[in-house]
Amino acid sequence: GNSVTQMEGPVTLSEEAFLTINCTYTATGYPSLFWYVQYPGEGLQLLLKATKADDKGSNKGFEATYRKETTSFHLEKGSVQVSDSAVYFCALKLNEKLTFGTGTRLTIIP
Amino acid sequence: DGGITQSPKYLFRKEGQNVTLSCEQNLNHDAMYWYRQDPGQGLRLIYYSQIVNDFQKGDIAEGYSVSREKKESFPLTVTSAQKNPTAFYLCASSILGASTDTQYFGPGTRLTVL
């Protein structure tokens, strides 16, 4: 079956630090890949996506590259802000269904 | 504004009672989904529907039921058969037939069984 494995949290960083949240997947086919963000008490918002190998998704300073050879879609940001504190979910989409990782809680300290 | 609404935001239920969670979308999306979120477990798919009057079970459908009488609406009933219903429930929708397309999520309903 399909599955997504992402970095265990929680992750705590100082403001302006570099962020990486690892995500790897297994899939029976060629999925689209997504990062969603969830702020406290809210639903999920799409952060970025990539639909084929070597595509780079980017938004709000976050980036992730679809690496087929390593089945990975790691999330990066060069300089995090306090407002980036949230839970981040990696997901794959295949046959109209999303499969999510367990989420990584990120806390940024001023 | 286009979007997905879920109501209520917080819901309390006594053990043994059925309860229905509302989900409405005005995005003209064909497909709608219900997920359950528990701490440390990510999101798990309960039911989904790709067309009016049709729906399929997801990974954890036991103890839940749905209906899709209108394109805009996809209510979820949590029945008394659901053994551990306390969770955060999220509804989503998307365009059908585009595997690259995004699922859009509502704000969620937090259900607590007393």
Model pLDDT for residues B56-110, shown as the tens digit of each residue: 999 999 999 999 999 999 999 999 888 899 999 999 999 876 666 788 999 999 9
**B85 Ramachandran zone, left/alpha/beta (phi>0; psi -120 to 50):** alpha
Model pLDDT for residues A26-80, shown as the tens digit of each residue: 998 889 999 999 998 888 999 999 999 999 999 999 999 999 999 999 999 999 9
Model pLDDT for residues A3-39, shown as the tens digit of each residue: 999 988 899 999 999 999 999 999 988 899 999 999 9
Could you tell me what percent of chain B has a pLDDT over 90? 75
Check whether the bond before A10 is cis (ω within 30° of 0): yes
Residues of chain B with Cβ-Cβ distance to A95 below 8 Å are 99
pLDDT of residue B105: 93
- Judged by a CB distance cut-off of 8 A, whether residue A49 touches chain B is yes
Q: What's the mean pLDDT in B33-50?
A: 91
Size of interface A-B (CB pairs under 8 A): 56
pLDDT of residue B41: 78
Residues of chain A with Cβ-Cβ distance to B103 below 8 Å are 93, 98
Buried-exposed string B85-103: b where 16+ CB fall within 10 A, e elsewhere: bebbbbbbbbbeeeeebbb
